[in-house]
A and B are shown apart, each in its own frame.
Chain A
């Protein structure tokens, strides 16, 4: 049984390379092979500060992190409780306000996912992601 198992595993592992190589070749000009692609709509803490009261902060972190501390005035919106939290955000939003979404740190992607959904599914304009997230906000001594 072990010989059959090893043979079958090798077959599947090998076969999966064929379409994967094809797709890799198709994407070879587009994909960011060495560094993650940078979201063009990212803002720094300093930029966000300049926008002042026009900013509506969106916290995309999990409940317990939001409860422990968050940017003053921030509203919570994460993918776990999207349907419950979205109406409150939409009620607070107005076309002249800039939405800045943040998560824990530079490498987290919850803020990018939330920002993308707000842009694509809800058609909101002026949606940005805070560079460095909550970690960077704390470092700036706000």
Chain B
């Protein structure tokens, strides 16, 4: 069997895993965004409880961030503005994880509200585990794109 022939199944498998991961991560963010869009004041209150930024800024972010989440999630699902969506979501979830851990260390009893009603009974550990899993998925997708681009830039010598 030729080299190309042996590589084809691995390529297909790799492609489907990546697409599946991107669609799944995108869907999570679309869902999380919609859950916040329906009650922006509740989300503003959740942001306020982290005690990082003043209410007047938090309430404005509460009207903006959910839409950014939805658009970036859709970007991942439909592969339009894919790299931008991936980068923004990675940044957002990283900031959120740091803020959550910092709040916990400062002894602030936060309610996350990240996924609306669906996440109400989740523990802090459960939330954190999900967030870290999403971050890992996004980073894996990001580095796959970055390594793909680097390979394309190499001279075609082999």
Contact = CB atoms under 8 A, between A and B. Distances in A.
Contact of B68 (A12, A65, A103): A12
Contact of A13 (B37, B88, B124): B88
B75 interface: yes
Interface in B21-70: 37, 40-41, 44-46, 48-49, 51, 55-56, 59-60, 63-64, 67-68, 70
B55 A104 contact: no
A37 interface: yes
B84 A107 contact: no
A131 interface: no
Given A16-B71, A104-B108, A32 B121 contact: no
A35 interface: yes
A16 B68 contact: yes
A108 interface: yes
Main secondary structure of the interface of B (DSSP, over half): helix
Given A12-B85, A37-B41, A65 B109 contact: yes
B144 interface: no
Interface string A1-39: 100110111111101110110011001001111111100
B87 A82 contact: no
A60 interface: yes
B81 interface: yes
A17 B64 contact: yes
Contacts of B109: 60-62, 65, 78, 103-104, 108, 110
B51 A107 contact: yes
A37 B41 CA distance: 9
Nearest to B91: A9
A19 to B, nearest CB: 5
13 contacts: A5-B87, A7-B84, A8-B87, A9-B87, A12-B75, A16-B64, A23-B37, A23-B63, A31-B41, A80-B121, A81-B123, A104-B108, A108-B49
